[in-house]
Structure 1
């Protein structure tokens, strides 16, 4: 028997019409509330204990060949891995001043004792591993850059100047203008005493409090600049703390907006509380599973809250409509549940599968985000479709809420009647034409969309952030940039210094030196040529790699640490790049790969690629290959779920095509806004599609019911707008409101995600209300739908 009469209105509820799940829930309300209370207390206790978490390994694609090579030789590349560089600038003079050198010594000592620093690799003008060397008539002479008898006098400072000029520190440890010098501190991934991973948040705070703040206060003429992966991650974690403020703003704005929508205290407070409970459940479950909150997944609770509110609005809206017909709170709640649980589950399962498609991307931090979002949506299915209607069945919609529905029906009807013309035979073709033109324009502008970072510095942070200001200072004043690509040359044991190896290294250096985007290079071949020349009275004719192995062995005897591993089976070539833009990385890695294809043999192999630039290049390749696969998966899953729900390919097209248009326009927006496809922005595409499908599912499920009742398409769409149009519009605005505040974040990728998600949530809503009925006009056959339901003409 149909639940609708000939006027498209719901009949009074009957016992036989109740689904089993409805009876199970509403016949056991006290037990359900007790269980929810116990779970909320338990999971809430765990939620408040969850901690920020960031790991270098979770941010990189561990299965990519570049990263496999890097991890295999990680111990041999300890000096080229995770490090920080601290530039100490003398704003009022040069480094050759007593006060400056005293401050530099104190800072070096302070850095030496920081937890996490690999003290054996620490370099500064004050460390004994920084030396000068020269060739004289009597042979080689050398010593530490700081004179043994240094006492701060003018004579010792002049001697220091001479030693610096005779050393190889200019451009690496000493600025080209001699107004600053660097303390280079390699880091240990794990504390050797406890075995625990380095705490980037704590390490970053130590750098700020014990280094920057302390010494800038002690010496006003000193300015300190700090860069490195650990400092970047520390700043990102610090930025997470500001998320709490955004959460408060979001909750307040949502509550105000929700009350304006419903004019019902219960319809405002209950959805907010239930959505907050969902967030606590999600975070509690994540902690129990061993997850923390990294800079990417920390935004998922916002999404969970916004999704919870958006689905809660559907419950409030449905209950208000039933209460306006005179039903009591329990009956209104049961009818609302009965009409919403199927489209609600389909929508939320679509959300969850949309998130889980991110598991295709072989980067753990994105997979963590997928798990966090998937758990959040699973929780919402329980809280919003069970807890919310059960609570409302006791409280009900207030008189103010009921009156608001009754008083606004007439005025709203005029608005819905006007919007129903989107399904009119004369308007629908115009809408489709606009959509096609929009698609073409978006396809044109999305051609500029690139994979990877498009800006210098740390794109995760805003250009005016302290970290990016520090990075600009180091790039402008030192010849060794912060963007390092390491090519690993692998050889049989004890053969990494043989002539064929060094000769091939020299050839690759020459090719890279003539590649756009490469600032400078360095390898064991340089050391051998420099020393060979020095051993021959500095004659430039000897600035070459000798074919005599004895001469080669003598030339590399004093090679810097990190240039040869312990068994001489690996030597690195280091390339310093102008930036880490996607095109720069692609150009340089292509050059290395072409060279490797030509010169790799049984005696040596050139392997990419370590260093931060190598990691970025690998990440870009993974993102580029995963993008289309992920889009295909998310659209495939969402389409399949819609097909199972509506049992019609035409219905699926009505729901999915507006989402596809939104995705194309969003990519065009990214291209024109200078936002590349990277770790932070790729998930947005899946999130936008997975959540955006909710509008179409709710709208089409209502439209289908009215078509089954025998309504013509435009009239059916009018009734759809009357019953759920306001809720769908509010859903879009609520979702957008939940992520809009991200745009205020000091973390740029959070701001980028906020911009894109706000656009996608709003535009998906527009697509469901505007484009779906136009598609329905051409794709659906209302008379067949009605006849199939038994309400069509005989």
Structure 2
């Protein structure tokens, strides 16, 4: 079958190349129109319990997609006219930013900021900054009144810093413009936050710092940092060119794998735009990773072509041998990669699903460019007479290295190697139990600690009790529950339970507000800071709290708990969520439903859950694909064990590596783990394919492996090193998630290669020792003798 396909392909090779050239031109035109694309809703795991709650109440409860802007005085406090004039102008500018839900803009200057005052007649509510006060006419008496209103209204730590050096403005963002129905351009908004807000109010040598945090600002910073991916791609490209030339000793054979991989990249971008997709900043490295995969498989072609030429074959004969010899193992490897990326679609997060589509398209195209296009192109080139000699000398040196590595397949050495691998595997399994799903550091996990966004986050967290780290718990009750003592007391106990959870900095709830109000109606006496049991007194206590606070709705059928966390680390979120689940499980009350969760920490908790739940099924599906392909190709259970066990070892070594470097399993690192499983078995396929062939020739497993190393071992080692060097340049990225991906991929490429050339043969040897073969081995399809 392979021979028939070979004859057909090379008979029509000119027609095939012409069709591919036309396709490249069409995709190239489409590719130049591809642009970055981001959105808050793309981060949501649809179908998750928390997201269902979020979607149901997103128009009523806020805090999931907000921006926070803080004006910070470099010297002194906020209590001066100049600060409040600047603060007023800043509030106005934020009010008119695109995408801002104007009714949610909150600062000391907005009318939704009110305080409660105890008077002889009871409680009086008023604006913190009275309607008769303007920024231009503000007096010292006005400033004194505002300071008193802020303190007695409880806005210290909420809108004004605890040390009085900064004031906050918050605003919710709309995903779609209600008038135009156009999607919010987060990159444009992020640019405006820098140019029209920060640059305007934070001038060099000026009096103020401007701190800005929120999803819109974060995605803008990520997009800015992601643009540097071009630099790292160029660096990786140059290193790859040098490496491939060093290996092939031919400019032509250096050009071919790189040209084919770049061509598939053009196809990939063109198809993505044609399908209506863009590139998410969090997934921008994926196409370039797929490029590296293409080079990896291209090197296998170059290895076989050079081997044939060194034996006296011409270009077409060498290309035909390469096509036939690598069609089966190459297709198996790429299909496994395809399954690995395809399983990412199981996670119901649009951004990850788009990443899965992007990567799957790229890998599928590699089957055409690397297994078809590359050998066809190679068949048209000629090589000078000295090329065969140069290749032969280079291969002679490599064979010396392979001869040393071949000793691993000696029975005694194989047993020792296997025992060492198993020992390390056991340690890795134990250590990997401590790894976490989600971010392990405060601030944004996508950015480095010294990034401006994370610096701003830390300053805001240090000066304010309120911030972005909001977990909103929705409590559904019968109507008018806010004036019925049993329900309010139940929620009061819930608030107290959450206030004492590690990592919780502040809890805002209606019972807490009602207790303060009750005290106010009784001359501020602390003895009255309790929930009134009398319904009429409870009505009086709840009355001053408006629905705009987000603590209740109009008919008191939804009473929210606003839980502010100290940071956004996965452990902090997990602790808070577990505390909520514990309380609702141990304290059921008829008619009351406690629902998780809204707020951006609720969304992050849902993302973490989705990743954790999907990880094992995804890995298992990849293994199912690997096992199916191995059994279908080799019809030997020994091959399944030899190919999958080293892969399992490498996967857990990767988990151990993540634990050591404190890299959490996130949206960015999950694809790396899944990809590492798919890519890791590539090395095993290329090696075992030749081992199986030589076993069919009558070799024992030790000699079969040694012969395999002479033919494809160096290509496997070289490929892993080249790919590792290429992705290692990502560790210098200003984006932490790209740096983490670079470190993790570098480690996984090298580990999988080491497992393939050490543990795989040791397992194969041990299996043959324990279970001697009773039947002759059948050569796999597509394997060629050399």
What interval of TM-score do these two structures reach, taking the shorter chain for normalisation?
over 0.9
CA deviation map 1:132-167 (0-9, x unaligned): 331122444443323424424333323332332232
3-state secondary structure, aligned to 2:71: strand
**Structure 1 residue 49 corresponds to structure 2 residue 33:** yes
**Cα displacement (A) at 1:391:** 1.1
CA deviation map 1:271-316 (0-9, x unaligned): 1111011112112222222222113321211221111101111111
Task: Select 1:744's aligned residue among 732, 735, 738.
Answer: 732
3-state secondary structure, aligned to 1:391: helix
**Cα displacement (A) at 1:785:** 6.6
**Structure 1 residue 458 corresponds to structure 2 residue 441:** no
Retained in 1: the 8 A contact 2:315–2:382? yes
**Structure 1 residue 21 corresponds to structure 2 residue 21:** no
Retained in 2: the 8 A contact 1:354–1:638? no
**Structure 1 residue 707 corresponds to structure 2 residue 704:** no
Task: Select 1:607's aligned residue among 595, 611, 616.
Answer: 595
* Compared CA separation, residues 615 and 398, structure 1 to 2 (3 A): farther
Partners of 1:125 and 1:787 lie apart in 2 by 81
Number of the residue aligned with 2:18: 34
**Structure 1 residue 256 corresponds to structure 2 residue 238:** no
TM-score by length of 2: 0.94
**Cα displacement (A) at 1:334:** 1.0
Retained in 2: the 8 A contact 1:713–1:782? no
**Structure 1 residue 325 corresponds to structure 2 residue 311:** yes
CA deviation map 1:665-711 (0-9, x unaligned): 11111111111223222222210010111111011111211222222
3-state secondary structure, aligned to 2:677: helix
Partners of 1:590 and 1:581 lie apart in 2 by 14
**Cα displacement (A) at 1:444:** 3.1
Retained in 2: the 8 A contact 1:302–1:739? no
Task: Select 2:640's aligned residue among 611, 628, 652.
Answer: 652
**Cα displacement (A) at 1:520:** 1.4
**Structure 1 residue 717 corresponds to structure 2 residue 701:** no
CA deviation map 1:147-202 (0-9, x unaligned): 42442433332333233223221110000111100011111121122212222111
Partners of 2:779 and 2:623 lie apart in 1 by 29
* Compared CA separation, residues 401 and 662, structure 1 to 2 (3 A): farther
3-state secondary structure, aligned to 1:89: strand
Number of the residue aligned with 1:584: 572
Partners of 2:743 and 2:555 lie apart in 1 by 52
Number of the residue aligned with 2:81: 98
CA deviation map 1:469-503 (0-9, x unaligned): 00110111112243111110112445455433322
Partners of 1:442 and 1:185 lie apart in 2 by 46
3-state secondary structure, aligned to 1:159: helix
Number of the residue aligned with 2:784: none
Task: Select 2:492's aligned residue among 506, 527, 552.
Answer: 506
**Structure 1 residue 385 corresponds to structure 2 residue 374:** no
Partners of 2:284 and 2:654 lie apart in 1 by 23
**Structure 1 residue 545 corresponds to structure 2 residue 534:** no
**Cα displacement (A) at 1:219:** 6.8
**Structure 1 residue 410 corresponds to structure 2 residue 396:** yes
Task: Select 2:684's aligned residue among 678, 683, 696.
Answer: 696
Partners of 1:397 and 1:321 lie apart in 2 by 13
Number of the residue aligned with 1:523: 509
Retained in 2: the 8 A contact 1:121–1:186? yes
* Compared CA separation, residues 640 and 577, structure 1 to 2 (3 A): same
**Cα displacement (A) at 1:715:** 2.8
Deviates more, 1:740-749 or 1:682-691: 740-749
CA deviation map 1:579-617 (0-9, x unaligned): 233333233222222322344444321111111222222
Number of the residue aligned with 1:129: 112
Retained in 2: the 8 A contact 1:496–1:570? no
* Compared CA separation, residues 18 and 558, structure 1 to 2 (3 A): closer
Partners of 2:230 and 2:618 lie apart in 1 by 31
Number of the residue aligned with 2:665: 677
**Cα displacement (A) at 1:37:** 1.1
CA deviation map 1:324-380 (0-9, x unaligned): 222222221111101111111111111111222223333332222222211111000
Task: Select 2:99's aligned residue among 116, 137, 161.
Answer: 116
Number of the residue aligned with 1:295: 281
Number of the residue aligned with 2:783: none
Partners of 1:118 and 1:218 lie apart in 2 by 31
Instruction: Give the 5 Å matches for 1:200-349.
Output: 200-217=186-203, 220-349=206-335
* Compared CA separation, residues 400 and 464, structure 1 to 2 (3 A): farther
**Structure 1 residue 63 corresponds to structure 2 residue 44:** no
Retained in 2: the 8 A contact 1:707–1:785? no
Retained in 1: the 8 A contact 2:122–2:522? no
Number of the residue aligned with 1:634: 622
3-state secondary structure, aligned to 1:31: helix
Partners of 1:639 and 1:27 lie apart in 2 by 35
**Cα displacement (A) at 1:741:** 2.1
CA deviation map 1:58-100 (0-9, x unaligned): 21222221221121122111x3331011111001111112222
CA deviation map 1:406-456 (0-9, x unaligned): 223433332222221111122111111211221122223223222222211
Retained in 2: the 8 A contact 1:201–1:238? no
Partners of 2:165 and 2:777 lie apart in 1 by 85
* Compared CA separation, residues 376 and 787, structure 1 to 2 (3 A): closer
* Compared CA separation, residues 89 and 788, structure 1 to 2 (3 A): closer
CA deviation map 1:623-662 (0-9, x unaligned): 2222222222222221211111111110111111111111
Retained in 2: the 8 A contact 1:695–1:765? yes
* Compared CA separation, residues 165 and 18, structure 1 to 2 (3 A): closer
TM-score by length of 1: 0.93
**Cα displacement (A) at 1:754:** 1.5
Number of the residue aligned with 1:75: 59
Retained in 1: the 8 A contact 2:461–2:467? yes
* Compared CA separation, residues 746 and 544, structure 1 to 2 (3 A): same
Retained in 1: the 8 A contact 2:728–2:742? yes
Retained in 2: the 8 A contact 1:190–1:197? yes
Task: Select 1:765's aligned residue among 737, 753, 757.
Answer: 753
* Compared CA separation, residues 399 and 246, structure 1 to 2 (3 A): farther
Partners of 1:332 and 1:760 lie apart in 2 by 32
Partners of 1:549 and 1:400 lie apart in 2 by 100
Task: Select 1:89's aligned residue among 72, 75, 89.
Answer: 72
Q: Could you list the runs of 5+ residues in structure 2 that have no partner in the other structure?
A: 781-786
CA deviation map 1:495-520 (0-9, x unaligned): 45543332221110111122222211
Deviates more, 1:511-520 or 1:303-312: 511-520
**Corresponding pairs, count:** 773
CA deviation map 1:743-794 (0-9, x unaligned): 122221221121111111111111111222211212248976756569xxxx
**Structure 1 residue 535 corresponds to structure 2 residue 518:** no
Retained in 2: the 8 A contact 1:517–1:577? yes
* Compared CA separation, residues 693 and 171, structure 1 to 2 (3 A): same
Deviates more, 1:777-786 or 1:347-356: 777-786
